[in-house]
Amino acid sequence: MAVKASGLIITADDFGLHPRVNQAVERAHRHGVLTAASLMVGAPAADDAVERAQAMPRLRVGLHLVLADGEAVMTRAAIPALLDEEGRFGDNMVRDGVRFFFLPHVRRQLASEIRAQFDAFAKTGLPLDHVNAHKHFHLHPTVLGLIVDIGRDYGMRAIRLPYEVGTPVWLRPWIAMVRARLNREGIAYNDYVVGIARSGQMDEAAMLAAIQHLPHGVSEIYCHPAVEGNAPLSRGMQFYRHADELDALMSPRVEAAIRAAGVSVGGFSDVLHLPRRSSALVVR
């Protein structure tokens, strides 16, 4: 099949989650095909991730907003409607999505936390390449609206569109809603992603297949690399093959396939030809 794609972004999510993730991101960028990473600013190893990113100026770093199943930036006292007794977001996204939509006091706290995460990213001094949300929570209309409104203050230019070939029919109206909102707001986005159906399983075979069958337009392949360890990085990642994904990102066969495809590679700002802006300048 002839490749018709015009651009390819290869992103590691959960940057900052654990030192094992950060080590993998650095290896895959310096010695492999990784072009971008999405930073969890409130995660335990976020400071280490930022330090590594500052030493890799060609790595494009975006904000991986955590609003489910992870750590917040603000304290539980400040956003009690959002966090559990341990100060973490829960993983019942259906329940939380209903609360975000219908309860004004929950929306206010949600807006405060989203702004706090943008603020934390801005303080790193890293240019803001893109924004997405953990577990694609930005598909929720309330979350998306807040990200668009708040992100404008921080120079946000691009958002991940989590649309994969083979996306279920019932989800496509939501994708269309996101696309329409981003078009109205002048925010850039990728045309497709690869990695939803095989989350945590993007090994060399999966990467090679994805590159061979890239659709027309700009695609983002996202993955969750980490170096080998003795325990899962989280409860939801028990069956993730992090080390296999790292190997794929460093595979000479994958690198050769990308070269043969003849696509433009880089971060969102590179592939979508966006001017790179620092996120540290906040306009209120």
Please give the average per-residue pLDDT across 246-274, as a whole number: 97
Domain assignment present for residue 192? The answer is yes
Predicted confidence at residue 231, as pLDDT, reads 82
Predicted confidence at residue 277, as pLDDT, reads 62
Domain assignment present for residue 216? The answer is yes
Cβ neighbours of 84 (radius 10 Å): 11
Residue 64 structural domain: 5-271
Domain assignment present for residue 276? The answer is no
Q: With 80 as the cut, is the pLDDT of residue 107 above it?
A: yes
Distance CA 204, CA 213 (A): 14
pLDDT tens across 122-153, in order?
999 999 999 999 999 999 999 999 999 999 99
Domain assignment present for residue 133? The answer is yes
The three-class DSSP label of residue 264 is strand
Domain assignment present for residue 280? The answer is no
Domain assignment present for residue 278? The answer is no
Predicted confidence at residue 233, as pLDDT, reads 86
Helix, strand, coil percent content, the chain, rounded in steps of 5: 45, 15, 40
Per-residue confidence band for 29, with pLDDT thresholds at 50, 70 and 90: very high
pLDDT tens across 56-88, in order?
999 999 999 999 999 999 999 999 999 998 889
Distance CA 255, CA 171 (A): 33
Domain assignment present for residue 263? The answer is yes
Helical H segments across 186-235, by residue range = 204-212
Q: For residue 135, give the CATH number of its domain.
A: 3.20.20.370
Number of domains in the chain: 1
Q: With 50 as the cut, is the pLDDT of residue 1 above it?
A: no
Distance CA 30, CA 243 (A): 16
Domain assignment present for residue 11? The answer is yes
